[in-house]
Amino acid sequence: MKTLSVLAIAGLLAVAGSASASSFIGTTDTIGSSLANSVESTSDASTGGNDKVVLQARDDAASFVASNGAIRGVQLEAALQHLRAQQPGLNASDMQLAEDILAR
């Protein structure tokens, strides 16, 4: 009987742990969506979210954001140019677009 109680407690802890992980994932998804919306959903509207040029710029975008704009890689520059060509009226800063690239 004691073994059954230990197994029941272990099962409850496992379920609680996965619920916490799901909550964390939901929160990060919400933050990512919010960030993407702040730049007028550039990726979804212009590229369907899977554009190769933009996806290849993720490392450069991370460096750009981490350095507060001091490090500008070639792939990020290409992605920024591509995004702006897709939406000429886009009113977003390089930092906002880099953050959007990271949110993908």
Residue 39 has pLDDT above 50, yes or no: no
42 against 100, higher pLDDT: 100
Residue 43 has pLDDT above 60, yes or no: no
CA dist., res. 12 & res. 36, Å (int): 36
pLDDT number for residue 51: 86
Degrees, nearest 5: CA angle 53-95-103: 60
66 against 38, higher pLDDT: 66
E strands present in the chain: none
